[in-house]
Amino acid sequence: MLAFGFRQAHEVGAWVVMISNGLVGSWALAANWLSALRVRALWWCTLAAELTVFAQATMGVYLIAGEGYVAPQFHLLYGFSGIVAIGILYSYRSQLRQRMYLLYGLGGLFLMGLGIRAFLLR
């Protein structure tokens, strides 16, 4: 039987981060132009996708601190930049209320891009 450890969970989680943020980012971007896509479920899915970034960072911290894994330096930069990006998205939501779907659409795609870049540096 194969052991499924934190390293493998972190790798699977990277795919979840990239795919989920790409999907909700695309959904929000489409909702910017198609009002039929502006449903409450979009915000719940966006929240879930953004929480995957925090889960990934937490697993990464455990891998480094708990298991002594040595990650490439820029991998850490891209990983933690995702957390900062989520904070920036959240902080601008009131100023850009008229462009909320555009903000979260581009933000979701940006988070997907950060995930891709971090994944490629592993």
pLDDT, tens digit, 9 for 90 and up, residues 64-113: 898 888 888 899 999 899 999 999 999 999 999 999 999 999 999 999 99
Q: What proportion of the chain, given as a percentage, has pLDDT over 90? A: 82
Residue 51: which H helix or E strand, with range?
helix 40-67
Pair 60, 10: CB distance under 8 Å: yes
**pLDDT score, position 3:** 55
pLDDT tops 70 at residue 2: no
What distance in Å separates the CA atoms of residue 25 and residue 12, rounded to the nearest whole number? 20
Q: Give the model's pLDDT for residue 1.
A: 40
Cα–Cα–Cα angle for 24, 101, 57, rounded to 5 degrees: 45
The contacts of residue 45 (CB under 8 Å, 6+ apart) are: 20, 23, 24, 27
- Letter for the amino acid at 86? I
Instruction: Please report the pLDDT score of residue 62 as a whole number.
Output: 92
Alpha carbons within 13 A on the beta-carbon side of 26: 8
Mean pLDDT for all residues in the chain: 93
Q: What share of the chain is helix, strand, coil (3-state, %, to 5)?
A: 85, 0, 15
